[in-house]
Amino acid sequence: MTKPHPPEITLKAIFLGIILSIILAGANAYLGLFAGMTVSASIPAAVISMGVLSMFRRSNIFENNIVQTAASAGESLAAGVIFTIPALVLMGYWQDFNYIEVAKIAAIGGLIGVLFTVPLRRAFIVEAKLKYPEGIATAEVLKAGDEARSSDSADAKSGLKTIAVAGLVGGLMKVAEQGFSMWHAVIEKAVAVGNSIFGLGSNLSPALISVGYIVGRNIGILVVAGGLISWGIAIPIYTALYGFEGEPMDAAWNIWNSKIRYMGVGAMVIGGIWSLIKLFKPLVAGIQA
């Protein structure tokens, strides 16, 4: 006799998915506006869902997958909003953020994104054979949690406890930093050597530390390299050629805001165009199929 398929779309999975989607979307919106990058919500949502659903007598890996998918969709939608909508304000096209208009844009963008997954799946997975390490890691987390659920529920809750402790530590650090002014979050210094300005700085925000831990060594190295190129090469060259006015740190920030950061934007645009060129044929084949 065939074993019945465990329930997948249940009320508790839908409710938990909505709650985590709201929480992680808000967290990623703040993180994206603060640090300029977001992190995937799939693995955190998978770990949290395993810890919460393990409190129920009946729960399964399919419900965990529904929860992490919903949370990941909310995080992706938030990233799409914060990286595009503020541009309308910066360009002067919008004077403020209209909730209804933003909701409409987000809904249409989310729908288009879902529809595009059909041809893009063939282009990215079948043709280009991209590895999708985040998806593979999420699947492994879900399988490990399912095995822990069948053996010892305490193991399934360990990830949730880790997240709770990390959140508490981060919150205490933020309160100590901003509430009690026990230390300065930003450490920065700029010096003038001849006509050139050399600068260096760091931010001790718990959010940035967490992002660095999540994105890993390679992305972290790229971020550091971008900072070194900007403050150790580009700004010194610019100030040597055109000079500067005022204090070195203020002048360096003004130059970075008005000139240097567009180098990063250009590099990002070229990288995106190059990726589209490489995937053009698989994308066309996926749409035609």
Distance, in Å, from the CA atom of 244 to the CA atom of 263, rounded to the nearest integer, reads: 19
* 3 state SS for 148-170: HHHHCHHHHHHHHHHHHHHHHHH
Structural domain ending residue among the three candidates 179, 208, 240: 179
Q: Which domain holds residue 241?
A: 186-288
Cα angle value 96/37/268 (rounded, 5°): 95
Do 200 and 250 lie in a common domain? yes
pLDDT digits (tens, 9 = 90+) for 140-191: 777 777 776 665 555 555 666 777 787 788 888 888 887 787 877 788 888 8
Do 70 and 161 lie in a common domain? yes
58 part of a folded domain: yes
- Name the nearest CA neighbour of 174 among 195, 204, 146: 204
How do strand 196-203 and strand 186-193 relate by DSSP bridges? Answer: antiparallel
The answer to whether 74 touches 21, Cβ cutoff 8 Å, is yes
Do 201 and 153 lie in a common domain? no
2 part of a folded domain: no
pLDDT given at position 281: 75
pLDDT given at position 233: 92
pLDDT digits (tens, 9 = 90+) for 99-118: 888 888 888 888 888 887 77
Reported as a pLDDT band with limits 50, 70 and 90, residue 8 is confident
Do 37 and 75 lie in a common domain? yes
Do 121 and 19 lie in a common domain? yes
Taking 90 as the threshold, does the pLDDT of residue 237 lie above it?
A: yes
The answer to whether 53 touches 14, Cβ cutoff 8 Å, is no
1 part of a folded domain: no
Distance, in Å, from the CA atom of 61 to the CA atom of 148, rounded to the nearest integer, reads: 11
Structural domain ending residue among the three candidates 136, 158, 179: 179
3 part of a folded domain: no
Instruction: Provide, rounded to the nearest whole percent, the portion of the chain with pLDDT above 70.
Output: 88
Radius of gyration for the chain, computed over Cα atoms and rounded to the nearest angstrom: 23
Structural domain ending residue among the three candidates 179, 206, 225: 179
The total number of structural domains that make up the chain: 2
250 part of a folded domain: yes
Do 117 and 175 lie in a common domain? yes
Do 153 and 38 lie in a common domain? yes
Q: Decide which of 222 and 131 is more confident.
A: 222
Taking 90 as the threshold, does the pLDDT of residue 216 lie above it?
A: no
Do 95 and 166 lie in a common domain? yes
Q: Decide which of 235 and 52 is more confident.
A: 235
Do 203 and 169 lie in a common domain? no
6 part of a folded domain: no
Q: Which residues lie closer than 8 Å to 196 by C-beta, 6 or more apart?
A: 235, 236, 237, 239, 240
